[in-house]
Amino acid sequence: MNIDIKAQLMNFKTIVILLFCFIAVKAQSQSDTTQVTFTFIGDVMGHDSQINAAYQKKSNTYDYSSYFKHLKPFTSEADFTVANLEVTLGMTPYKGYPQFSSPPALASALKDAGIDALVTSNNHSCDRGKEGIIKTIDILDSLEIPHTGTYKNIDDRSNNSPMIFEKNGIRVAIINYTYGTNGLPAPIPTIVDRIDKELIAKDIKRAQKSYVDQIIVFAHWGLEYQSNPSDQQIDLYKFCIESGANIVIGSHPHVIQRIEKHKDSFIAYSLGNFVSNQRKQKTDGGMMVNMTLSKSDKSTWVSDASYTLTWVYTPFENGRKAFYILPAAQFEKNMDFFTSIEDYEAMKLFIDDSRTLLGAQNVNVSERK
């Protein structure tokens, strides 16, 4: 056989073998990759009209289940869904602003809607004093809803911070902090985790010792009603990443702010309102951030992320305001669903404002429709 032909055949065989090995290695790599999904939700408020809407006069009870019925397919599909609980629970009289306390039925409805865990450190954590902090924790514990951010005492904090999630061999830690508590100090021995760089760095190191694959900082921060993050938010995000966290999720401004997905970090500056009675432009809705974490033998990373816009629909029914959280994209072409054209146009305005902002400012994160 001609020497050139022999050489060509050997080269061809070599290429085939190498190609086979590449495919085998790639398949092995894919099979060794595991995933877990998270959904993050913004502010769960409890204004007076929300409490009134949930009240059932005949039974003298409260029922919030209707609030979430349109959104339950979205809140229940992730492996773990986490929301910011911006009220205390169980302290009568039940009242909204300025010192919030909602019926325990609110937490029950959140759990039934598929929300798996709550962060509780925010500027309303101390609204009802020591008893309010403790009662909120007791109610969440009785409902078996994991939580972090507020604690009965130092021992409680040691047991519940960080909050750990684990599935498919992926361990994720969440730690939670607030910029302040409206001038109301946490009464001794209760604790509300406050934004403090030294504390955050210490907690990140503690979380790393728990052999977690990702660390998420859930921060209650920023300036209310501002669509752009403040310099302080940007600085704290960078500090958290430099200190060893991987993901930062923000709440408090009551409007949405941009999301950025980078190679080694992820930031959602503000998720906006999940449910509230705030009706001013941009405050009448929020977004859910959907995230997939992937893990190989070498690293864990945010492999996919998107956002889902949500809008709070408040028609009058039976003489009082009702509350329904809508997946906005699913209803934007369904004008007949709404009792008034004004409601439909308000939702459309929220959608347009949100898409304009996020379309211009987001980095590698698109809307899920």
Span 73-82, pLDDT tens digits: 999 999 999 9
What pLDDT was estimated at residue 101? 98
Q: Lowest-confidence range among 11-20, 28-37, 244-253?
A: 11-20
Residue 200 near residue 240 (C-beta atoms within 8 A): yes
Residue 55 near residue 269 (C-beta atoms within 8 A): no
Q: Lowest-confidence range among 28-42, 79-93, 166-180, 222-236?
A: 28-42
For the whole model, what pTM was predicted? Answer: 0.91
pLDDT band at 32 (very low <50, low <70, confident <90, very high): confident
Query: Would you say residue 172 has pLDDT above 70?
Result: yes
Q: 7 or 60: whose pLDDT is higher?
A: 60
What pLDDT was estimated at residue 13? 53
Backbone angles phi, psi at 175, to 5 degrees: -125, 150
Among 83, 149, 86, which residue's Cα sits nearest to residue 111?
A: 83
Residue 135 near residue 91 (C-beta atoms within 8 A): yes
Q: Where are the alpha helices (DSSP H) in the chain?
A: 3-31, 48-54, 72-75, 105-112, 129-142, 154-160, 197-208, 231-242, 328-331, 341-361
Cis amide linkage into residue 189, ω under 30° from 0: yes
Question: HEC string of 93-118?
Answer: CCECCCCCEECCHHHHHHHHCCCCEE
Return mean pLDDT, the chain: 93
What pLDDT was estimated at residue 219? 98
Span 312-333, pLDDT tens digits: 999 999 899 999 999 999 999 9
Q: Tokens 């991987």 correspond to what residue?
A: 246
